[in-house]
Amino acid sequence: MRKTGIVRDERYMNHRPGSFHPESHKRLKVIYDMLNDPDMAGQFHEVPVRRAEREELLLVHSPQYVDMVAATEGKASQSLDPDTSTSAGSYEAALLASGGLCRAVSMVIEGELDNAFALVRPPGHHAEKSRAMGFCLFNNVAVGARYAQEYHKLKRVLIIDWDLHHGNGTQHSFEEDPTVLYFSTHQYPYYPGSGAFHEAGRGKGEGFTVNVPLSPGHGDGEYVGIFEKILKPVAMEFNPELILVSAGIDIYENDPLGSMLVSPEGFAALTRSIMDVAEKCCDGKVVITLEGGYDLNGLSFSIKSVLKELAGLSETSIEDMISRGDQNKIDYAIEQVLRVHGRFWKGLSP
Ligand SMILES: [Zn+2]
């Protein structure tokens, strides 16, 4: 049994982007209820939640943008982007989302926890330096990575983003930086439009952005195959000191916004694959944060499987799952990534 932390707080539900918005507070309600199931209750360690400090947000965002989000506090609906609006409690929820993740990062780095899952909202990976986008206010995972580097002096952080959508904000935060490797699988072409194979980082950061855009219909076997055959060799060579994960449950098989086919067992296998890398490189240090995911049952079932894998309450067999995948789809992704990244990562092979 490993010591797995969870970040949860009722105030994350005070962000209310509108009655019919898919990024609803009910998403967390079903997850928090699931944590009381008999097989889950008492198995996880609570991470004390705090607000992100202004200096922490400024590691990723501009002062003008932080001020703009702060100005929404206490006000009725404010629209920041066609998809993104705030309510009176949104600014606080967003501060607690980034701050809660930073707290989890500290506890994992310092060895108080083996790993952790930040069950927070609003999500973050579309948020740009000076712009809210795609349901996101502050880029939680980007703030978490920079926080680990600034306050804990880590040199190399790996961010894995399995959300249905490409994490444009995260990519842009680190695309010229070889100390943060960003790996993303996402439905493509799709919102937000970025994340092609050839987007591989710029300047000193060339090679440190790895995009694997996917057509609709990829399921457990293909996702796990891609993680094992592309992510794993690159990640092992990069040798991170901490792994952060942008976990979008919108690749779930019944998600209303997506067309991927990942099952709760598939989410467990992706977690297992990531933990294998973490155990070899960084003493198992993995901190996962919630991004998208809009089917309420999918959120509950899938997050339960991820948490069980993190805590060692289950151990999923990756091999079985890859053998069920469509080998042609996996081979196509490897071929395309090799074409762009073969010169950067010698561990990648056909
Ligand atoms: Zn998403």
pLDDT in tens, 214-264: 999 999 999 999 999 999 999 999 999 999 999 999 999 999 999 999 999
Distance (angstroms) between ligand 1 centre and the Cα of 9 equals 22
Given a cut of 80, whether residue 304 has pLDDT beyond it is yes
CB atoms within 10 A of CB 18: 12
Distance (angstroms) between ligand 1 centre and the Cα of 1 equals 31
Distance (angstroms) between ligand 1 centre and the Cα of 162 equals 9
Distance (angstroms) between ligand 1 centre and the Cα of 93 equals 19
Q: Tell me: the pLDDT tens digits for 253-290?
A: 999 999 999 999 999 999 999 999 999 999 999 999 99
In whole angstroms, what is the distance from residue 234 CA to residue 239 CA?
9
Q: Judge whether 347 and 233 are in contact, CB under 8 Å.
A: yes
Q: Judge whether 309 and 268 are in contact, CB under 8 Å.
A: yes
Q: Tell me: the pLDDT tens digits for 14-46?
A: 999 999 999 999 999 999 999 999 999 999 999
SS3 124: coil
Radius of gyration of the chain (CA): 18
The two three-digit tokens of residue 343, written as one number: 């010169």
Instruction: List active site positions.
Output: 126
Based on DSSP, count helices (H) and strands (E) in the chain, helices before strands: 12, 10
pLDDT for residue 116: 99
Distance (angstroms) between ligand 1 centre and the Cα of 250 equals 6
pLDDT for residue 30: 98
Domains of the chain listed by start with CATH number? 4-341 (3.40.800.20)
